Structure 1
Amino acid sequence: MSRNDTDWFRFELTQTGPIEVNLDHHTRDDFDWALYQETGSALAEGATSNVPETGSYNAQSTGTGWYDLTVNFGEGSNTGGGSGNDDCGYSSRPAKPGSLQAYLQGGSADSCSTLTADQGAVLLMGGGSDVDQAFSNRVANHVGSGADVVVLRTSGTDAYNDYLLNLMNADSVETLIIDTRNKANDDYVDWAIRSAEFVWIAGGDQSDYLNQWQGTKVQTAVQHVFDKGGVVGGTSAGMALMANSVYDPDGVAGAVSDEVVTDFCHETLNFSSRFIDVPVLDNSLTDTHFQERDRMGRAIVSLGHHSNQYFSIAASEATSLFIEASGTGVVDGSNEVYIFKETANTQRVTLQCGSAVNYQNINRVKLLPGDNYNVVSHTHNGMQLDVSINGNNNNFYSPINPY
């Protein structure tokens, strides 16, 4: 049984009386049923949005034999034939609008990969060189071979297509250049994202991404991929979009550590609501190009703009953190990932607009390739120390080298 078709089941009555019909199905679907005699219009039907769809009909005449049908569709999986020859529940690919730049490499049909609902994972990458093993080991192991991959950006090329197709042994990789809200609400874009198992947001400008995509079909489609058990993620600006509170320098210069420490409410610090709901990243912030651009000051000041329940994930270039639904994350790549959070020792001495920041004893965990960090329990095998910021001093870090 699949979407967009009609399935018929025939049975004969052995006695008069009520016929009770109960059609249970996946909560994200809307199946209907109708009861007919051999000829004529429907005698009863279930055509609401209820789950299950129920109804009954009191039969007044009988035939011979009996029939007992029970249909159970498990909530735990989204399965398909894997052949790419049917629509896998997403119907056929819509026509592509002429204004949309879309570059497809590999199969054009949905590959029908098997995922486990509510077991979505997220890949955070710090920019610079991409981390091969994050795709070939972490993502490919999660979604399986023969998956469909979509790359999202507002400008750029299809350079990811051949790279990811080979690294992941994917069925297809499609790059979509979605640079207007009209394109972000197009049915072709919606279908291409929803039917994918892995959505990757390239580097660029997260403010532009939010302006063009937030509140559109792109946003709901990316959420759908995560909810059905796929992987979502991004590098640089794409990683920024994974946070609960998104750093969004819309219309202003990017925040620099030695500037924001001098004024807690520096004009370059601005945050927007989350783009995607990843439960294990509730209360999270992110930062990228971290050690290379000395962004520890801005990451810690940004943390001070949020409640003490927040934590920050910061990745240096050529480094990634792959996080599963349990919250367990593993680092791959060449450099470090840092986690910042408050503890009982933290002191918010001066966090006031117009004043230099004085923020003491923020816990810093340094993770190297192969290290683990659980973003739910905050257990880890990394190296930790307390870092303080005092914007009144020329050397505003304590210790002087907090990296």
Structure 2
Amino acid sequence: MRACRWWWVVFACGFALAGWAAAADPATHRGYEYYRIGDTQAARPGQTAPALMLMGGGSWVDPAFHWFVAQAGHGHVVILRASGADEMQDELYRRIGGVASVQTLVFHDRAAASDPAVLDIVRHADGIFIAGGDQANYVCFWKGTPLNELMDRHVREGKPIGGTSAGLAILGGYAYGALDGGSIVSPEATHDPLGSAVTLVDGFLHVPWLAQVITDTHFAARGRLGRLIAFVARLRHEGHAQVVGLGVDEATVLAIGGDGIGRIFTRDHGFAWLVQPEGTPQRIAPGQPLEYRDVRLTGIGPDSRIDMRDLGVQRPAFQVTADVRDGRLVVHGDLPTEDR
């Protein structure tokens, strides 16, 4: 069974698009806004390299952005988003620096993802970064479009891609789409992991090293361990036996190079969390609380390295196990903070 049938995406996105259209400013009739800074025609100074920048949201981690810019050959970065304006663009160009140009595309409907001008901008990007916001808009506006195909081609060509918050949420082979208009919290997810609020999507982006991964963001700050375990439980129940979870804390970046080795940049003692259950859940049924035992949790900190080829972690920040018992999360061992 697929994690998210396309008819459900169309049904859910229909409501989202109708709601946006009612509030749309007529001045944005073309379906997107475009901003740029720098010389978009300048030659790229260096060579691009394959890379993933997985940012959990919150404050910027400057060394991680310097790393990303270097992987983009100090060339032309394109920011994709569905809300906001050019604030991230200006921050990247003026404060981080080291890029020839930064361009921003703010999408307001699905048609913009087929616009020739939009596609030309993305086609020539040396690096793509997906901003935060509402990942339901990204699914509704981009999935299955020419833009979606171009994003995959960008990755196949060995160019870097990254995202923060909602932008990270859609980078995994599986994603929480938030297509019901909300953002499910851990107790709700563990008490009904097969419920309609757990809207999981697959077949969106095809990013190396993340094919069997579902990501989550703002991880410790918003207590999302329980819901990520619930997401993995549902996917494994539906036949995706190798799926694991990867959560990233706020003000923290997991930077993965072309060799599959990932390291942490953080400004607030954050971690990436690798969630690896054993087998399938002991109990998962419609309307029933989850029962899942012996879920392995591995913390990836600044001194750690993760090899995405086999998910091996060198010098883990912590290693504990967790159970979900009758829908309630129980962690065995000490975590860096108590409110997870």
Give me the TM-score of the superposition, normalised by structure 2.
0.82
- Quick one: which of 322, 325, 329 aligns to 1:390? 325
Alignment-mate amino acid for residue 106 of structure 1: G
Counterpart CA distance in 2 for 1:284 and 1:168 is 32
Q: Secondary structure at the match of 2:209?
A: helix
Aligned to 1:349: 282
**1:401 offset after TM fit, Å?**
6.3
Could you list the per-position Cα deviations for residues 75-103 of structure 1 after superposition, in whole angstroms to 9, with x for gaps in the alignment? xxxxxxxxxxxxxxxxxxxxxx9664111
1:296 partnered with 2:229:
no
Aligned to 2:179: 250
- Quick one: which of 296, 307, 310 aligns to 1:377? 310
1:155 partnered with 2:102:
no
Cα 1:229–1:392 shift into 2, 3 Å: closer
**1:357 offset after TM fit, Å?**
0.9
Q: Secondary structure at the match of 2:232?
A: helix
Could you list the per-position Cα deviations for residues 183-232 of structure 1 after superposition, in whole angstroms to 9, with x for gaps in the alignment? 21111111111111111110011111111111222212222221221111
Q: Which one is further off, 317-326 or 251-260?
A: 251-260
Aligned to 2:100: 171
Counterpart CA distance in 2 for 1:108 and 1:278 is 26
CA RMSD, Structure 1 to Structure 2 (Å)? 2.0
Alignment-mate amino acid for residue 227 of structure 1: R
Q: Secondary structure at the match of 1:191?
A: helix
Q: Which one is further off, 107-116 or 120-129?
A: 107-116
Alignment-mate amino acid for residue 379 of structure 1: G
Q: How does 1:244-393 map to 2 (within 5 A)?
A: 244-306=173-235, 307-333=240-266, 334=268, 335-343=270-278, 348-380=281-313, 381-382=315-316, 383-391=318-326, 393=328
- Quick one: which of 124, 143, 162 aligns to 1:233? 162
Counterpart CA distance in 2 for 1:142 and 1:364 is 30
Q: Report which structure shows greater RCO (CA 8 Å, sep ≥6).
A: 2
**1:264 offset after TM fit, Å?**
2.8
Cα 1:347–1:177 shift into 2, 3 Å: closer
CA contact (8 A) 2:289 2:327 kept: yes
Cα 1:210–1:392 shift into 2, 3 Å: closer
Q: Secondary structure at the match of 2:111?
A: helix
Aligned length: 299
CA contact (8 A) 1:242 1:274 kept: no
Could you list the per-position Cα deviations for residues 282-308 of structure 1 after superposition, in whole angstroms to 9, with x for gaps in the alignment? 111000011111010000011111233
Unaligned runs of 5+ in 2: 1-28
CA contact (8 A) 1:111 1:148 kept: no
Q: How does 1:56-67 map to 2 (within 5 A)?
A: none
CA contact (8 A) 1:362 1:388 kept: yes
CA contact (8 A) 1:134 1:332 kept: yes
Aligned to 2:39: 107
Counterpart CA distance in 2 for 1:387 and 1:319 is 23
Counterpart CA distance in 2 for 1:355 and 1:201 is 35
The alignment-based identity, stated in percent, is 28
Counterpart CA distance in 1 for 2:83 and 2:205 is 21
Q: Secondary structure at the match of 1:280?
A: coil
CA contact (8 A) 1:373 1:379 kept: yes
Cα 1:285–1:348 shift into 2, 3 Å: same
Q: Secondary structure at the match of 2:136?
A: helix
CA contact (8 A) 2:323 2:330 kept: yes
**1:110 offset after TM fit, Å?**
5.2
CA contact (8 A) 2:51 2:256 kept: yes
Cα 1:168–1:384 shift into 2, 3 Å: farther
Structure in which a larger fraction of residues adopt helix: 2
- Quick one: which of 40, 55, 60 aligns to 1:125? 55
CA contact (8 A) 1:123 1:233 kept: yes
Cα 1:365–1:392 shift into 2, 3 Å: closer
Could you list the per-position Cα deviations for residues 120-158 of structure 1 after superposition, in whole angstroms to 9, with x for gaps in the alignment? 21111111112211111x21232222x100111112010
Q: Secondary structure at the match of 1:348?
A: coil
CA contact (8 A) 1:290 1:314 kept: yes
**1:352 offset after TM fit, Å?**
1.9
Counterpart CA distance in 2 for 1:308 and 1:184 is 33
Counterpart CA distance in 1 for 2:41 and 2:140 is 30
Could you list the per-position Cα deviations for residues 325-353 of structure 1 after superposition, in whole angstroms to 9, with x for gaps in the alignment? 3221111112111011134xx56221222
1:198 partnered with 2:130:
no
Q: Secondary structure at the match of 1:135?
A: helix
Alignment-mate amino acid for residue 248 of structure 1: G
CA contact (8 A) 2:109 2:141 kept: yes
